[in-house]
Structure 1
Amino acid sequence: MYAPGAYAAADPVSIVRKYPFAHLITATGEDTYATPTPIFFETDDTVSTLVGHMTRINPQAQTLQNGQRVLAIFPGPHAYISASWYKTLLTVPTWDYVSAQIRGRLEIIDDDEGQIKVLRRIAAVLERDNEHPWTLEQAPPGKVQQLLPRIRSFRITVDRIEGVTKLNQTHPASDRMLIIQQLLARPDSDSHEIARLMAHLPST
């Protein structure tokens, strides 16, 4: 992952945790596949493995193999930055963004017990902030068992985690404040999130 020193994420793991809706990328022969799907660390206390799943009728699912090298991209918020917003250090337009990548090796999880564990983990992570978290036990009778043959779950053993947090760190704090004001005036949530992250940068 191209990550210039000024923009290299100090904690790429936190990006993966915060923005888990990833793109799983694999290559087989002359074909390259990519599927957007949520991917999570397998437990709360380790970053060595991740788990996820996709529908079995997805052509990519048919190509997944044990030991296959994979790339998972975790895109966070992003926003265009107009050059007209700079007052101190004049330059050209740019794009601010947050993103992480994980490279690793795949392990297929096809057995019912293993797939149920993956589904439990996904539900546990996504429901943890709800006042009344939903669990697999609340699914309609037989629904989970009916689902299992229709999905293909996987585990990724992590080789490398990298991240970029590009938030105009190379510009003076005075210019960043002007950028924040412009971003907050926009209607989209990504611009607001980039503004919030930029506001928490150390002053330079």
Structure 2
Amino acid sequence: MRQNPSFTLADIAEIRRVIEANPWATIMSSGPDGLVASHYAVLLDDDRDDLTIVGHVGRPDDQIHGMGEREMLVVFQGPHGYISPGWYGDVQAVPTWNYTAVHLSGTPEILGDQENLEILDRLVERFEGRMPGPRLMWERPNDEGFVKRLAAGTVGFRLSPTRVVAKRKLSQNKPADTVETIIAELEADGPYGQPELASEMRRAHDALAEARR
């Protein structure tokens, strides 16, 4: 991802927030057979306050990616959406796309069986916990044998990134009144309404205004 100083996201807490809110990641690597990409839910490592992530892949994706042996890239995508040139007013303009993205690169550490089980447990709890009647991993009708058989078909990993590229392209290079118009259009019930993107824009511009004070 090409970086641009106007859109650089360098705040660790904000990057962690993006990852936490958007855990469905794309995992990419380059091996003997060329480029390969997989899609898995990934979590921040509870024991760290940096950008270390944990997750799992199903076998044989670990072999396809050469996990533990070569570098891989994990991409997180935040809210994104189309920005019409008509929202800029009577000025020369072309369409664009606003977005937030985080790229983490590094060679992952392969987890042992017990730690992999713990990560799988965390993943289930993270998402199932929001249900009115959660079906957690170790609850009936699941039993220990069933859970361990499923876990045996997965490979857990921990990635402490050696390279981080995070970008928040949310109209930071536009005048304040134009930004307000774009946010209003995204909040409206139109063909390109995207309230989550509007909230991200508001957050980014509030932070920018605070930094300028």
Structures share fold, TM-score greater than 0.5: yes
Structure 1 range deviating more: 124-133 or 176-185: 124-133
Structure holding more helix per residue: 2
Query: Using the alignment, how far apart are the partners of 1:192 and 1:76 within structure 2?
Result: 13
Match of 1:2 in 2: 2
Q: Which of 8, 33, 40 is residue 37 of structure 1 equivalent to? A: 40
TM-superposed deviation, 1:163: 1.0
Q: Does 1:151 align with 2:154?
A: yes
Q: Runs of 5+ in structure 2 lacking a partner?
A: none
Structure 1 residues 157 and 67, CA gap change in structure 2 (3 angstroms): farther
TM-superposed deviation, 1:186: 4.3
TM-score by length of 1: 0.85
Letter of the structure 1 residue corresponding to residue 8 of structure 2: A
- For residues 32-57 of structure 1, give each alpha carbon's deviation from its aligned partner in whole angstroms, at most 9, with x where no partner exists: 11111111122154325321112214
Q: Would the aligned equivalents of 1:15 and 1:163 in 2 still touch at CA under 8 Å? A: no
Structure 1 residues 92 and 44, CA gap change in structure 2 (3 angstroms): farther
Count of matched residue positions in the alignment of Structure 1 and Structure 2: 201
Query: Using the alignment, how far apart are the partners of 1:99 and 1:144 within structure 2?
Result: 34
Structure 1 range deviating more: 129-138 or 145-154: 129-138
Q: Does 1:96 align with 2:98?
A: yes
Q: Would the aligned equivalents of 1:71 and 1:102 in 2 still touch at CA under 8 Å? A: yes
TM-superposed deviation, 1:150: 1.7
- For residues 170-204 of structure 1, give each alpha carbon's deviation from its aligned partner in whole angstroms, at most 9, with x where no partner exists: 11111112112221224689821111122231359
Percent identical among aligned pairs is 27
Identify which of structures 1 and 2 has the higher relative contact order when contacts are C-alpha pairs closer than 8 Å and 6+ apart: 1
Trace 1:86-165 onto structure 2 (pairs within 5 A).
86-87=88-89, 90-109=92-111, 111-126=112-127, 135-138=136-139, 140-141=142-143, 142-165=145-168
RMSD over aligned Cα atoms: 2.6
Query: Using the alignment, how far apart are the partners of 1:188 and 1:51 within structure 2?
Result: 37
Query: Using the alignment, how far apart are the partners of 1:9 and 1:188 within structure 2?
Result: 28
Structure 1 residues 45 and 112, CA gap change in structure 2 (3 angstroms): closer
